[in-house]
A and B are shown apart, each in its own frame.
Chain A
Amino acid sequence: MISKSYNLCIKDIKSELRTRYAINALVMFILVAISVILFSIGNEKIQPELTAGLYWVVIFFSAMSGLSRAFVSEEEKGTTLTLHLIATPDTIFSGKLFFNLILTFFINIIITLLYAAFFEGFVVNNFILFLVTFIFGNIGLAISSTIIASIIAKAGSKGTLYPVLSFPILLPLILTCVQLTIFCFDGTSFDNALYEMAIVVSYDIIMVTISYLLFDFIWKE
C-alpha cells in the first residue's frame, strides 16, 4: 500500500513538473499578495499581531488556490476510473495527501522566507515553537484541503465551493496558528503555548481520522 501511494505521489509530482499549473499559480499568487501588502503598509512598522494575521491570510489563500487541484485534475483528464481500478481508496488518499504535504511545505517555506526578508515585524523569538507550529499547521492544512478537494472534484462550480467548504473547517486551525505565531514573535516559552499546541495537534489527528473514514464513501460515489 505504501509503495503504491508513493508511486501515485511520484506520478503527481511528475505531472505537476510537466504542466507546472499549481506551482505557477501559487508563486504568482504569493508574489502578488505579498507585494500588495508591502506597498500598502509602506514605511509603517506593523504590529506583530497584524504580521501574524497577514502571514496566515497569505498561507490560507495560497492553499485555496493550489491544493484544490489534487482531485480536480484527475477528473478533468478523465483518469479517475483508472485510479479506481488500480488502487484502494486508502492508497489513493495517502498518495494525494503526500503530494499535498510536499506542495504545502514547499509553498509555505517560500512564504516564510519572503516574510522574514521583507517584514520588519516578522522576528521569530522562539524558533522551536515556530518550527513546531509551522509543521503541525501545515500538516493540518494539507489534510483538510485534500479531503475537501476530493469532495468538490465531482461538483459543478469547483472554484467557489472550495473556499466555502474549507473556511469553517480550517477556521479553528488558522485562528490557533495565528495565536501561536504571535507567541513566537513575543518569545513566549513553550510551556505557556502548550494549550494552543495541543489544539493544533488534536485538530490534525481528528482530520486524519475523519478523512480516512469518509474517503471510502466520497471515492465510491
Chain B
Amino acid sequence: MKNKYVIGGFIIVLFLGIMGYLFTQSNIKYENNFIVVKSTNKTVKATGSWVKEKKYSYDAENNLFTFYIKDDKGEEMMVVYRGAMPNNFESATSVVVTGSYQQNYFYAKDILTKCPSKYQEQPNTQSSSL
C-alpha cells in the first residue's frame, strides 16, 4: 500500500520534470544557421549580421522595411519587416530577427539590434584632450 504512493509519486515527479523541461525547450529557438531557417517555416530567432553592401529599403507607403542579413557562413536571406526601421540599425554589429521563412523571404515579427557599447573606454581621445 505504501509502495504504491512512493512509485506513483516518483512517476509524477519524473514526468512533471520532463514536461517542465520540454515546455521551456519548445519555445522559439535561436538559430544562426540560415540553411536550417530556410528549410522550415517554424518561428525562429535568426541571428546574423546586416549585409551592408546591399542597401536596406523602407517603403513608407506600405510601411515595409526590407534588408539582407547573412549568417557567419555567408548564407544570405532577405528580411521583410512590417514597421519602421529600428533606431541605430546602421551601427548594429549583429541583428536578431524573430519570424518565419516563407517563399524566399523571412517575415520578421520583431527585430533586435545589437549595438557597440557607448560606454566603452576610449583611451586615445581621452589622453589627447588632456
**Residues of A at under 8 Å CB distance from B?**
172, 179, 186, 188, 192, 195-196, 198-199, 202-203, 205-206, 209-210, 212-213
Contacts and interface: CB of A to CB of B under 8 A. Distances in A.
B3 to A, nearest CB: 12
A188 B23 contact: no
Nearest to B17: A202
B93 to A, nearest CB: 31
Looking at chain B, what size class is its interface with the partner chain? Answer: 10 to 19
B19 A206 contact: yes
B25 interface: yes
B19 A213 contact: no
Contacts of A198: 18, 22
Contacts, number: 44
A90 to B, nearest CB: 10
B42 A206 contact: no
Interface string B75-94: 00000000000000000000
Contacts of B42: 188, 192
Q: Which of A172, A179, A192, A198 has the most CB of B within 10 A?
A: A198
A209 B11 contact: yes
A198 B12 CA distance: 15
Interface in B1-30: 4-5, 8-9, 11-12, 15-16, 18-19, 22-23, 25-26
Contact of A209 (B12, B22, B23, B26): B12
B63 interface: no
Main secondary structure of the interface of B (DSSP, over half): helix
A121 B23 CA distance: 27
A210 B7 CA distance: 11
Contacts of B57: none
A192 B8 CA distance: 31
23 contacts: A179-B26, A186-B41, A188-B40, A188-B42, A192-B40, A195-B25, A195-B26, A198-B18, A199-B19, A199-B23, A199-B26, A202-B15, A203-B19, A205-B15, A206-B11, A209-B11, A209-B15, A210-B12, A212-B8, A213-B4, A213-B5, A213-B8, A213-B12
A199 to B, nearest CB: 5
B11 to A, nearest CB: 5
B15 A206 contact: yes
Nearest to A189: B40
Q: Which of B5, B9, B18 has the most CB of A within 10 A?
A: B18
B18 A202 contact: yes
Contacts of A212: 8
A188 B44 CA distance: 14
